[in-house]
Amino acid sequence: MDKIFVIDFGGQYTHLITNRIRRLNVLSEIKHPDDPIAELAQAKGIILSGGPMSVYDNNAPQLQKELLELGIPILGLCFGHQLLVHASGGIVEQGYKEYGVAQLTVLTHDSLFKHLSNKEQVWMSHGDSVKKLPEGFIVIGKTDDCPYAAISNPDKKLFGFQFHPEVTHTTNGMKILENFISICQCKRDWTMKGYISSIKNELNEKVKGRKVFMLVSGGVDSTVAFTLLNQVLGKEHVRGVFIDNGLSRLYDSENVRQLIEQHNYTNLYIENCSDVFLSRLKEIIDPEEKRKIIGNTFIDVSNEILKKMGLNHHEWLLGQGTIYPDTIESGGTKNAALIKTHHNRVDLIHDLIEKGLVIEPLSHLYKDEVRELGIELGLPEETVWRHPFPGPGLGVRALCSNGVPDKAHIPFDAATKQLCEDHAISIGFLPIKSVGVQGDSRSYAHTAVVSGTQEWGILEKTSTYITNKYHDINRVVMLITPGSLPKLSLKKSYLTHSRLDKLRKIDADVMDFLHNENLMKVIWQMPVVLLPLTSDGAKECIVLRPVLTRDFMTASFARIPFEKTLLLAQKIMSYGFIDAVFYDITHKPPGTIEWE
């Protein structure tokens, strides 16, 4: 079978590239930069991924120059583009940062840009850029800020893009990749059904007669994984437990009960362990520490359940519904940067993985592929299209604080103030940080807040302008409740039953809103975030984070009509314990989908 290798230089989109190539029915595999040349030469084409480093960093991964002499078509993306230039004798300039949508001017319509228009929307996310081309290379595409956005060496079939064709925000990125596949002369004979067959064989080989114990959250990933394990191994070899950790949504327990009834899963049980989790999370405010405590507590509680059920842990493997974004954001590939630690990637899990005691049947898939797999396995559409929910649950959607104010303040310069004034926008600063991803690396930065205009295009451009210009800001929100922004300060807030119940209630209202407006399939995820910001010492604030995405590696904020969001905000405000409702208008990157 023809295949394309993606060489992993640590980029957040490395596995996404393989996903996209598979979507075009060509087998794609990830390889490391130091894999033997003889092995890499078996590919029909090679793609060099992005990465979090500069080509000039002492510990940056290197490109084997022998690759360039194989005669195999090679496409470098972002860091891979810069590395291709650097290895070929060109010059890369450090320090120019660019994130978000850009307009590419196509200079030649042969090869990679065949059948494309003169102007194409592309997605940028980089910190360095090419300054001088190597000998033999020509420019085939440029943007206003990037004169070498697309390059090629026609004689050697070498290509480089500063932008990312693999993300959905590059409008015709799939066509570009399809053109690369044509240049590679690949047969397009890879299918999802073929993948299902191979993963079943892989599961039987890994399990080897043992049994699998799995935590089922009621979400899409764990439900599909649990169903796959049951179909492959049989119910007598699989045991599932839904642990109510006090951090779940209002409907999660009911969804699991329905799953049990619909599929006769007599091997799936429900355990209430909320007091254990919340006692360990008492007065914890750091996002990473919360995630690690939740992940470790899941393991501890699981072990107790195993003992109570009389299961010999030597005969059982731990099953997880881990998908690829969970792995890559946790720094799970050789050269990747840590964005955030997922609950299923804490140290205890890593130890179990190294011992061969963890089975993860979805670990090479993205959300869209998991949903396709769920349909193939016979799960109902309403289950497969349920909105994703993080493993740590509301634990990472209820931000916490010890009440000590963050004294950092980012002054907006005259140009920024003038830009906002020209568009009737008021701009301010929220004294709170959130997790982001900028240039393939993690950021933990502040939030800007705007109000005024209701023009989505203007708001998008303003948000992109602010996060590109101010590196200490990775997120922009819009005030959607009527009136001016109240004077807000941090309040002492932790994970408690009462605080989580308030967030649970509002989250349920938002999910009902999406159902009623027929938006569940349009909007792929809509986190509801509780902020420890107050005007009176008692109330707090809410952020709505609706996003559009297919792979969850990149996302754009969804544009729900203002009149509908206003009605939703008014309902949230009617409870009396909320100061303001914000709407997150940040793309990913630079803001992650979740705030923690």
Is 271 catalytic? The answer is no
Distance, CA of 91 to CA of 151 (rounded, Å): 14
Nearest to 170 by CA among 494, 572, 535, 556: 556
Nearest to 388 by CA among 224, 215, 170: 224
Distance, CA of 511 to CA of 69 (rounded, Å): 54
- From the candidates 166, 360, 369, 540, which is the catalytic residue? 166
Q: Are residues 138 and 198 in the same domain?
A: no
Q: Are residues 260 and 359 in the same domain?
A: yes
Is 166 catalytic? The answer is yes
Give pLDDT tens digits for 360-375: 999 878 788 899 999 9
Average model confidence (pLDDT) across the chain: 89
- From the candidates 78, 186, 273, 541, which is the catalytic residue? 78
Neighbours of 155 (CB within 10 A): 8
- From the candidates 126, 164, 263, 342, which is the catalytic residue? 164
Query: Is 395 a member of any domain?
Result: no
Query: Is 594 a member of any domain?
Result: no
- The domain of 281 spans 192-386
Q: Are residues 22 and 114 in the same domain?
A: yes
Distance, CA of 137 to CA of 152 (rounded, Å): 5
Return the minimum-mean-pLDDT range out of 296-300, 506-510, 556-560: 296-300
Q: Are residues 87 and 175 in the same domain?
A: yes
Is 350 catalytic? The answer is no
Give pLDDT tens digits for 159-209: 999 999 998 889 999 999 999 999 999 999 988 788 888 888 889 988 988
Helix residue spans in 285-339 (DSSP H)? 287-309, 324-329
Report the domain count for the chain.
Answer: 3
Identify the CATH number of the domain in which residue 480 sits: 3.30.300.10
Q: Are residues 580 and 507 in the same domain?
A: yes
Query: Is 396 a member of any domain?
Result: no
What is this structure's pTM?
A: 0.67
Q: Are residues 215 and 171 in the same domain?
A: no
Q: Please give the share of the chain, as a percent, with pLDDT higher than 70.
A: 94
Distance, CA of 80 to CA of 8 (rounded, Å): 9
Identify the CATH number of the domain in which residue 130 sits: 3.40.50.880
Give pLDDT tens digits for 417-457: 999 999 999 999 999 999 888 666 778 899 999 999 999 99
Q: Are residues 437 and 538 in the same domain?
A: yes
Amino acid at 21: I
